[in-house]
């Protein structure tokens, strides 16, 4: 099976594939489009207090974006997430 993940779904699918052996066995390729694998610069700036957007939660609600999820997609958190996935993958395939 070939899977396409758009936006944050691409990040979710990467995680699911790493955690679920059944998915690993049936998914041949994963293509992600516009997925914030390296994090969101705006999220990083907001979480560091560099950008103050007084109505950002209202805008996110209108767009259907969870405010807590937005804060989690900062560059530091995504770097940790990517390291976690790489370590798990290396252990799974016997590279460590």
- Structure confidence at residue 37 as a pLDDT band (50, 70, 90): very high
Inform me whether the pLDDT recorded for 32 exceeds 60.
yes
Both 44 and 20 in a single domain? no
Both 8 and 31 in a single domain? yes
pTM over 0.85: no
Both 25 and 50 in a single domain? no
Interval 5-14: pLDDT, tens:
999 899 999 9
Domain count of the fold of the chain: 2
DSSP the chain: -EEEEETHHHHHHHHHHHH-HHHHHH--EEEEES--TT--HHHHHHHTTS---TTHHHHHHHHT--HHHHHHTSHHHHHHHHHHHHHHHHHHTT--
Both 44 and 85 in a single domain? yes
What Rg, from alpha-carbon coordinates, does the chain have? 16
pLDDT at 21: 87
Both 7 and 41 in a single domain? no
pLDDT at 15: 93
What are the CB-based long-range contacts (under 8 Å, 24+) for 80-87?
81/11, 81/15, 82/37, 82/38, 85/14, 85/15, 85/18
Both 26 and 45 in a single domain? no
Residue-range definition of the domain harbouring residue 59: 37-96
pLDDT at 94: 67
77-96 mean pLDDT: 82
- Structure confidence at residue 68 as a pLDDT band (50, 70, 90): confident
Both 51 and 84 in a single domain? yes
Contact 72, 44 (CB under 8 A): no
């Amino acid at each position: 099976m070939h899977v396409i993940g758009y936006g944050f779904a691409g990040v979710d699918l990467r995680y699911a594939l790493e955690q679920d052996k059944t998915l690993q066995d049936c998914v041949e390729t994963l293509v992600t489009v516009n997925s914030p694998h390296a994090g969101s610069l705006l999220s990083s700036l907001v979480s560091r207090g560099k950008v103050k957007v007084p109505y950002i939660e209202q805008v996110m609600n209108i767009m259907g974006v969870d405010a807590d999820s937005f804060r989690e997609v900062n560059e530091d958190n995504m770097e940790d997430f990517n390291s976690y996935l790489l370590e798990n993958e290396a252990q799974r395939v016997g590279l460590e």
